[in-house]
Amino acid sequence: MTNTNPIRPKLTIRLCGPRGFCAGVDRAIQIVVLALKGYGAPVYVRHEIVHNRYVVEGLEAKGAIFVEELDEIPEEHREQPVVFSAHGVPKSVPADAMARNLFYLDATCPLVSKVHKQAMRHQRLGRHVVLIGHAGHPEVIGTMGQLAEGTVSLIETVEDAAAYAPADPDNLGYVTQTTLSVDDTEGVIAKLKERFPSLADPAADSICYATTNRQEAVKQAAPGCDLFLIVGAPNSSNSKRLVEVALKAGAMQSLLVQRASEIDWDAIGTIGTLGLSAGASAPEVIVNEIIEAFKERYDTTVELAEFSVENEHFLVNRELRSIELTHDDMAWVNG
């Protein structure tokens, strides 16, 4: 009998751990899910709750409505909850919500809130705040919005740090966006400290543990990879940093993909080792979807490239803690 099954090429997938949802993202999504269970649809969400279209569309299907500003909420829904995204918001946003008598639930990641507090601490101690981050990112907008205009300066690159000319060079303190590349940020901080020796550190690291852990796992897995795929959205800062980290650490090529359907199989070429990780906003179900897509085309072996195990868990808002959250409630993202 003739065997009509083509011989599939062998492929080793180095699956990074940790990957995907961090505790702050998990908490933010849970807040919207619980609000829908407890208060019914619609639940409004200001800005994307996290930077992932699959998550946003999944919550929309459950009854969430995403808006950019609070004035988009119609009068007849003013008693329904509105959730602020995990990236954090300027102080003006909750103030606006209170002025409109809106019931709001703040899903800001606790580690982003910690950066807000560190920035405000610098200011209380008489320091001008230097924020290292990406202009226009919601987290940066939220952090700058904790402070009075003119009291914080944004630095994006080593070149920015070299050109920075503060009014009082001896009274500076810095914080960083939580989702930056650890290595790139070290270069910016080093340049600032070279120029301003009295620059004060934040009370604790600003780049969050989840960002650091995912980058370190990718660094360890990347050498020898013919291709490294990062599951994440184009507007996800931490996901884009993982692509850069993979290339710097030795992967032959590295790509950002949102779904298996985006993979250009003809362009991949011949590969024997694939690295795979996911940004902190990317659901595990999509990681599984991509693994299955490769298994259909390759004789696949999956190896876990684990850097660390994360056990962090952040409580949801007090108003939601009496509402039961089941496995089925989160299966659409967690599998």
Instruction: Report pLDDT digits (tens) over 275-298.
Output: 999 999 999 999 999 999 999 999
In this prediction, what percent of the chain has a pLDDT beyond 90?
A: 91
Q: Is 237 flagged in the annotation as binding?
A: yes
* Gyration radius of the chain over CA positions: 22
102 residue type, one letter = L
Under a CB-based contact definition with an 8 Å cutoff, are residues 219 and 245 in contact? yes
SS3 string, the chain, reads CCCCCCCCCEEEEEEEECCCCCHHHHHHHHHHHHHHHHHCCCEEEECCCCCCHHHHHHHHHHCEEEECCHHHCCHHHCCCEEEECCCCCCCHHHHHHHHCCCEEEECCCHHHHHHHHHHHHHHHCCCEEEEECCCCCHHHHHHHCCCCCCCEEEECCHHHHHHCCCCCCCCEEEEECCCCCHHHHHHHHHHHHHHCCCCECCCCCCCCHHHHHHHHHHHHHCCCCCEEEEECCCCCHHHHHHHHHHHHCCCCCEEEECCHHHCCHHHHCCCCEEEEEECCCCCHHHHHHHHHHHHHHCEEEEEEEECCCCCCCCCCCHHHCCCCCCHHHHHHHHC
Under a CB-based contact definition with an 8 Å cutoff, are residues 263 and 274 in contact? no
122-151 pLDDT, tens digit per residue, is 999 999 999 999 999 999 999 999 999 999
The single residue of 72, 139, 149, 244 carrying the catalytic annotation is 139
161-174 pLDDT, tens digit per residue, is 999 999 999 999 99
Q: Is 87 flagged in the annotation as binding?
A: yes
Contacts of 204 (CB under 8 A, 6+ apart): 114, 118
Nearest by Cα to 305 from 188, 241, 226, 214: 214
Nearest by Cα to 221 from 295, 302, 296: 302
CA–CA distance, 209 with 214 (Å, rounded to integer): 9
Q: In the structure, what pLDDT confidence band is assigned to residue 180 with cuts at 50, 70 and 90?
A: confident
192-247 pLDDT, tens digit per residue, is 999 999 999 998 778 888 999 999 999 999 999 999 999 999 999 899 999 999 99
- The answer to whether residue 31 scores a pLDDT higher than 70 is yes
Q: For residue 298, give both structure tokens.
A: 């390759």
Residue 139 appears among annotated catalytic residues: yes
Q: Is 109 flagged in the annotation as binding?
A: yes
How many residues in total does the chain contain? 335
Q: Is 313 flagged in the annotation as binding?
A: no
Q: Sign of torsion, CA 266 269 270 274?
A: negative
Please give the pLDDT value at position 4: 52
How much is the average pLDDT of 177-192? 90
pTM: 0.92
Q: What is the mean pLDDT of the chain?
A: 95
In this prediction, what percent of the chain has a pLDDT beyond 70?
A: 99
